Structure 1
Amino acid sequence: MFERMILTLFSILGLLNGVFFSIIYRKSKFYIYIVLSLLISLSAAGFFLWYARGYDSLGSWSLWLGYLMCGIMVAEIIAAAPLFACTMLSFFRKIRSIARIGAVLFMAMALGIGVYGAIDGNCSEEVAHVDVYVEGLPEAFDGYKAAQMTDTHIGPYFRYTDLPGEIRKARLEGAQVLFFTGDLIDDIRHMPEAAQTLSTFYGVFPDGIFYVWGNHEYYRGKDYIEEELEKTPVQILANEHLAITRNGETLYVAGVDYPWARGEAMKEEMDEMTDEAFEGIPAGAPVILLAHHSDFLDEGFKKGAILTLTGHTHGTQFGLFGKPLWTPFTYTRGAYSDGTHLGYVSRGDASWFPFRFSCERELVIFTFHRK
């Protein structure tokens, strides 16, 4: 179904952009523009889908070709609205030449943004450092460091062979615990290797690795992913909590599952999940809440969690000056606060589609301080 949706979407975009160009340039053989645009768009989408299936057996050339094809796909999306505008302007004879120049420039700009974003989006990563100041934080946790990883989407762009380096980077930053907030893998053919990596690196973090479910685990086969993770010492939190103890003092870690309801029913489901995860935690105790969906920040604020960590949004992967241009999410990227408690939405360590623009991948390191 996903493949049909992608092919259908880019068939429509290819046809539309071809029609726009044929009108702008007023060519009698308009079908050449339409067919050529359709072929380019379908070839890009087709390669994207084919590469995802067979990247393991292909050389490095295929990755760079993949970036180009992803860039073309992005360009088709970005260019559609400007080309439509140029089409409308082309009906005015006096500015038709300007409309034609504009169409070419917009298409070139869209392609440049697409290809650059595909390459840089997969290759660049920021290590973000966030200081968390907590009133009443147990003294044993003053200066404590935690790493958040999320949305690696192990597959053709972030491969299972990239996972050890990412985890090693978190430890080198001084993290004493690793929190993974979902969407570990898309290509579950490599789930055994991913699980082995998590098992191997579990011991390098003094307080281990904690994990909560994302939506892609359900898409790709949660039962199998869970079966492999259960072979590791990784702590899976599904509407429950565990404690980290240092020098007789305790920091609680609560984790919730992914909510599938919508509208008001989703809020009720999230309330139930959070209540279940917090059940048994002493009142006023310091708690870190782990979730995949960013709407859980509200739950963390309501429950008094000192820090709520989520992912899921990928920061929208597109923006300007470090800010998203548009977002369907209440909480999209970075730090949020209700004035007392902190929430953080990670842009993700990777993504299933490599394009990013003004929204780098990130590994997040949190340092806790007594207030």
Structure 2
Amino acid sequence: VTAAGFAVRGLARLANKKYWHQPIIDRTARLLPYFLLMFSIIWGVGSYTGINSLRALGSSFSALILLVILALIISLPPALLLGWLAGRLANRPPMSPKADPVRRRIIGGTVAILPFTATSAMGMGFGASFSRTRVPEIEIDIPNLPRALDGFRILHLSDLHLGYYFGLDHVEQTLLDAEKHQPHMVVVTGDIADDLSLMTDTMKLIGQLKTPYPPYASVGNHEYFRGIRESIRRIEAGPIPLLLDKHDVFEVNGTPVVIGGANDPVHLGGDISGFLDDSLKRAFHNAPEGPFRLLMSHRPRALDVAEKNGVGLVLSGHTHAGQVGVGGRSFWELFNENGYLWGRYKKGNARLYTSAGMGHWFPFRLGVPLEAPLIILRRVENAG
């Protein structure tokens, strides 16, 4: 990262010297890597001392500077190439401050287009990552859903990642907004708090939401990253039952519903279908066969093994929708159409909703708003 910062510094100063001649650009480029170092130190001091204001300041500005560096290291080389080609096409010698001012402005503006666009996009994504969490109502058609569950409303919280960029006030505001939608129950599907000191209070706060049916939680990979035993201890110190390779049964108007919680494979690559299949078998061991089965799985790949384990609906997170979206879908589905990155999916009679999440470990979201979806179950006849 430091090397990239100094590379950007050199490229920006070169572009400024050749095309823009702006002292402020030169000064900013000189200081950019040192700003990154300074805010990284502030972040570290805040984390070590437990001073949340320092940690928030350091982590936020470190992330913003990293985004600027990324934007410039991507855009400056082609911008400089574009300027060189523009100069060649004009069939003139290299630019200098004494060159024709109109020509200088045109080529300088041409060179600036890519860096300006890239840094603007990064700035927009950074700003959007701190926006208010929306609560979209998502209807999911489920074949042969018990009639008692038609219209059942589940508030789905995932990937809160509390600590670096968000605190309990973020959760409280989201719950106040969600309360207006009158959810019947709430589920929390992992990656709850990167600062474990917030974990129990978070679960207590979520547990205060008045719903007719009990809340449940499952784990994600960040619970393992922060220490799974301590994460479990702090979750279980709150009022929300944790389902880890376990299930529970509750009734809706006399109709039983089985809810299970999958474990997380922790690692980020490779085929995890076998792991999830084993986890679901453990989760639903000795569960009644007839009732509708709802699964909390941090990993959306659980859809691949859901139907064979009798699961009708999987609620997942983990992906953050790839943090770049277009038209309500993840941009990265262009390259990974079976990744279940964001939204509704189906496989056989099983259904999945992958939430884009309420938070993140890196603050950038372009076309992917923070969300706490309100899942509404709808009965449809016949499988398909």
Question: What interval of TM-score do these two structures reach, taking the shorter chain for normalisation?
Answer: 0.7 to 0.9
Identity over aligned pairs, percent: 23
Does residue 1:12 correspond to 2:20, yes or no?
no
Rg comparison, structure with higher value: 2
1:182-202 CA-to-partner distances (Å, cap 9, x unmatched) read: 01101223334324324444x
In structure 1, C-alpha distance between the alignment counterparts of 2:246 and 2:195, rounded to whole Å = 28
Does residue 1:287 correspond to 2:293, yes or no?
yes
Classify 1:320/1:68 alpha carbon distance in 2 versus 1 (closer, same or farther; 3 Å).
farther
Please report how far the alpha carbon of residue 120 of structure 1 lies from its aligned counterpart in structure 2 after TM superposition: 2.4
Does residue 1:155 correspond to 2:163, yes or no?
yes
Report which stretch shifted further, 340-349 or 217-226. Answer: 217-226
Alignment of 1:261-300 (within 5 A): 266-300=272-306
Classify 1:318/1:278 alpha carbon distance in 2 versus 1 (closer, same or farther; 3 Å).
same
TM-score (norm 1): 0.83
In structure 2, C-alpha distance between the alignment counterparts of 1:199 and 1:318, rounded to whole Å = 31
Classify 1:63/1:217 alpha carbon distance in 2 versus 1 (closer, same or farther; 3 Å).
closer
1:256–1:290 CA contact under 8 A, matched in 2: yes
Q: Which of the numbers 351, 374, 379 marks the counterpart of 1:365?
A: 374
Classify 1:340/1:45 alpha carbon distance in 2 versus 1 (closer, same or farther; 3 Å).
farther
In structure 1, C-alpha distance between the alignment counterparts of 2:305 and 2:177, rounded to whole Å = 30
Q: Which of the numbers 147, 168, 181 marks the counterpart of 1:139?
A: 147
In structure 1, C-alpha distance between the alignment counterparts of 2:45 and 2:275, rounded to whole Å = 35
1:300–1:343 CA contact under 8 A, matched in 2: no
Structure 2 equivalent of residue 242 of structure 1:
248
Q: Which of the numbers 356, 364, 374 marks the counterpart of 1:355?
A: 364
Amino acid at match of 1:193: D
Structure 1 equivalent of residue 239 of structure 2:
233
Alignment of 1:1-371 (within 5 A): 9=1, 11-24=2-15, 37=29, 39-44=31-36, 46-47=38-39, 50-51=42-43, 54=46, 57=51, 70-92=63-85, 93-94=87-88, 100-201=108-209, 204-260=210-266, 266-326=272-332, 330-338=339-347, 340-371=349-380
Please report how far the alpha carbon of residue 306 of structure 1 lies from its aligned counterpart in structure 2 after TM superposition: 1.8
User: Pairwise CA RMSD of aligned residues?
Assistant: 3.2
1:82–1:103 CA contact under 8 A, matched in 2: no
Partner SS for 2:272? helix
Please report how far the alpha carbon of residue 116 of structure 1 lies from its aligned counterpart in structure 2 after TM superposition: 2.7
- Paired residue total: 356
Please report how far the alpha carbon of residue 69 of structure 1 lies from its aligned counterpart in structure 2 after TM superposition: 5.3
Gap regions ≥5 residues in structure 2:
19-23, 95-103
Classify 1:349/1:49 alpha carbon distance in 2 versus 1 (closer, same or farther; 3 Å).
farther
2:273–2:302 CA contact under 8 A, matched in 1: no
Classify 1:286/1:361 alpha carbon distance in 2 versus 1 (closer, same or farther; 3 Å).
same
Gap regions ≥5 residues in structure 1:
1-8
Please report how far the alpha carbon of residue 76 of structure 1 lies from its aligned counterpart in structure 2 after TM superposition: 1.9
1:154-189 CA-to-partner distances (Å, cap 9, x unmatched) read: 113211232223233333311111110101101223
Partner SS for 2:360? coil
Report which stretch shifted further, 91-100 or 293-302. Answer: 91-100
Classify 1:104/1:44 alpha carbon distance in 2 versus 1 (closer, same or farther; 3 Å).
farther
1:257–1:273 CA contact under 8 A, matched in 2: yes
